[in-house]
Structure 1
Amino acid sequence: MNPSKYRRSLIIIFFFLFCCSTVEAQNLFANPGFEAINNCIEFKADCSPEAWFNIPAGNFLVNGRIAPRPVIGNMVLIVPVGSVLANFNHPRYVYTGLCCQLVAGEKYDLSFYLNTAKNNFKQLAFYFTEKEPMLATVKNLSATPSVIITKENVDGDYKDWKHVKCEYLATGNEKFFTITTAGLAEVEYSMGDAMNKSGDVLYFIDEIKLQAQGNAPVCAQYEANITKMFDYNYRHTNNVPVFKEEPVIAPVVKFTTDTIVIPDLLFDIGKYDLKPGLKNILDSLVTKLTIKKFLTIGITGHTDNSGNENKNQVLSENRAITIKNYLTEKIPGAAEKITAAGKGQYFPVAENATATGRQKNRRVEIVITYLNINK
């Protein structure tokens, strides 16, 4: 094989491997080239780039001789930075939602092309926020911008455009990105700086990117967040959020109870040992309690008023304790949730004057309390 052809082949293979192994991180800005244009419902016309919003609501026109040729494509983002009219020379805002919330501790590269229509570039302030900016709240932005862009951030030229790049260390709360002059020193403009009949002073941005330096994974909501911003068509409606917060519905907490009455027929007369029939009932109850979580179980023994009062009290207590011990043995870890008490002859449910009434009074009540949370 010809040595020069061999070297050329190695170079080609190396170049191919290098290019294929370099995977660019996902851009966290939707519509970064501003080519997709929103058709505003209220105007029935194209009005501004999809996924980018103005506060206060407005649409900025530019004198044709001033508007720059885009870096790529046909559109740019217009950013109002001031006015030649003193009464209107106050901060305005352009914002977007991030496709993914930033990851705490991750470093991100923020870059874009900037054109100031041959005016001197002063400064720009960028704010990363957790809450979506609204007309009523945007003035509450921190006095300290997340990033201040100055001439020092310019790292290259492309025709009439400056390429700008900076680094940002995320706190993990960032969901929205705002471009403004708020938080910066006020700049006075002359009438010659006006770029339209309204006296606005404008900057132009194109091909903006926000990318993680590391291997921060793309969130599951990436595509959904883009769709949500693109689907919002009232581009000039103030105080109507794109990302509406879902109402927090407090869970409804309810306590329900079941009562099981164990008749005295399941005990021998004057005894508290568990008979086979009673054990079968308790085993069925244990099966239910292992499926349906309970909060507490209260076991109370009762007697009629026949015989000795003290003996009746002790018998009622022993019957309740025996059932508690059986359930505790069958349900591990439930001892603290189960209580047992004897009420003797003092809480009858029927007249003690008849045999039928006395039989009803001789009983053990098991009251089970459940905690139900409906979300």
Structure 2
Amino acid sequence: MFIFCLNARADGQNLLANPGFEDINICTEFNAPCSRAGWFMVLKGFRGKLPVKSGERALPFTFENYYAPFKRAFPYSKILCPLLPGKDYKLQVWLYTGKKAFSHLDVLFTLSDPSRLNVRFGKFEYTLRFSLGDIVERRKDGWILLSKNYIPKEKYRYIVIGNLSNDAEAPRNRKEKNLNGGELDFWIDDISLTATDSTWSPCLEYKQTLSQLYDEKRRHTSFASLDEERNKTPTPLWSEKNSLRPVDPVKQDTLIIPGVVFGVNDSKIDAAGKAVLAEFAERIRLLNVKSIRISGHTDDTGTDTLNKVLSLKRAESVAAYLISKLPQLTEHVVTNGYGNKLPAALNDTPENRAKNRRVEIVVSYVELRGLRRNE
């Protein structure tokens, strides 16, 4: 069983990861922040400054381009539990359209990873559409809350958001058309997809799917997908003629540091924790390390803000100790503090809360061919 932070408006457990888009993905291709964790983009990305409805981040996308009407972007994610045919669900999303009057927002539910769909405009059939009648709240800063119920006919696994209309928007005036290269950019925030049935309970793969979404770091690799095709890679550019060596597969080594190595509300590592980290440092010393992702986690005791700060401080404390042992890997280390957003167990007993107080270290590396691990 797994608990995830929910939008306060949700009737039940949110089936969408990172609904407030506060957590950032560190892409493996560049080892740098490049998108919202758990969410992906089909087609064009976004550039420019963005507003937020709450917190520090929202998710921007290109609704349309006045010069190239079908140059659009479609945020998508994997639903944490498959939608059950015949069951009633509620989808809510905060939307900001800037100076553009709201007309519609489309949603497409799919069975497979949307990035592999080969569908041309004119053939799209959106699953549901938000229109003016679906606005349930308006804020003075321009954000609107859209809400709609939906009963699926199939066991959908993915959600896509954007403008699936076959018609092109027209600018009201020349100035609007010239703004930002003709792009019409929208932003979404605090999205929730919940089952309205009070007897509904999370599926067994809820936690596994959530972990998969956060662990998928690739954003610049065209063949990467979240379904059964996700682990297939293109044929390596290799031949006897050019003697190019196939790309070595990236492997991972993981270590979980329990919260007991820290004092209460403290980030200082005790002697036992340092001993474990020293042994781990020796284990990875000779590896061809690509990245070391260190994430701190807490239980649900205390406020979200304090938990996030504490979890980050603990992650940074672990990172500092590892770097002291392996200074050559300094540039490969990335730290995050997730607070109580990604618990390993329910926060219902002292034992389970102890499981949630932890620091996770994930080392991605390439084991060079011809060399043994202990050389």
TM-score, normalising length: structure 1: 0.54
Aligned to 2:149: 167
Q: Distance in 1 between matches of 2:16 and 2:10?
A: 17
Aligned to 2:226: 242
Instruction: Flag the 1:27–1:78 CA change in 2: closer, same or farther, 3 A.
Output: same
1:91–1:182 CA contact under 8 A, matched in 2: no
Pairing 1:186–2:172 present: no
Decide which of 41, 48, 60 is 2:28's aligned counterpart.
41
Aligned to 2:194: 211
What per-residue deviation string (whole Å, max 9, x for no partner) do you get for residues 230-285 of structure 1? 111111322421233599xxxxxxxxxxxxxxxxxxxxxxxxxxxxxxxxxxxxxx
What per-residue deviation string (whole Å, max 9, x for no partner) do you get for residues 57-112 of structure 1? x43112x4xx32x22210001121111323x6434321110000011111111101
Q: Distance in 1 between matches of 2:179 and 2:81?
A: 36
1:193–1:201 CA contact under 8 A, matched in 2: no
1:136–1:239 CA contact under 8 A, matched in 2: no
What per-residue deviation string (whole Å, max 9, x for no partner) do you get for residues 314-372 of structure 1? xxxxxxxxxxxxxxxxxxxxxxxxxxxxxxxxxxxxxxxxxxxxxxxxxxxxxxxxxxx
Instruction: Flag the 1:49–1:246 CA change in 2: closer, same or farther, 3 A.
Output: closer
1:154–1:164 CA contact under 8 A, matched in 2: yes
Decide which of 211, 232, 248 is 1:227's aligned counterpart.
211
Q: What secondary structure does 2:129 align onto?
A: strand
Shift, 1:217, TM fit:
2.1
2:90–2:194 CA contact under 8 A, matched in 1: yes
What residue ranges of structure 2 are gaps of 5+ in the alignment? 1-8, 232-375
Shift, 1:42, TM fit:
2.0
1:30–1:226 CA contact under 8 A, matched in 2: yes
Q: Distance in 1 between matches of 2:209 and 2:122?
A: 23
Q: Distance in 2 between matches of 1:175 and 1:142?
A: 21
Shift, 1:118, TM fit:
2.1
Q: What secondary structure does 2:150 align onto?
A: strand
**Who wins on radius of gyration, i.e. which is larger?**
1
Q: Distance in 1 between matches of 2:122 and 2:227?
A: 18
Q: Distance in 1 between matches of 2:230 and 2:55?
A: 37
Aligned to 1:149: 130
The amino acid of 2:21's aligned partner reads F
Q: Distance in 2 between matches of 1:195 and 1:96?
A: 32
Instruction: Flag the 1:173–1:136 CA change in 2: closer, same or farther, 3 A.
Output: closer
- Give me the CA root mean square deviation: 2.6
1:111–1:165 CA contact under 8 A, matched in 2: yes
TM-score, normalising length: structure 2: 0.54
The amino acid of 1:59's aligned partner reads G
Aligned to 1:200: 183
Give the alignment of 1:1-375 within 5 angstroms.
Answer: 24-56=11-43, 58-62=44-48, 64=49, 67-68=50-51, 70-86=52-68, 89-135=70-116, 137-139=118-120, 143-160=124-141, 161-189=143-171, 192-193=175-176, 197-214=180-197, 215-245=199-229
Q: Distance in 2 between matches of 1:130 and 1:207?
A: 24
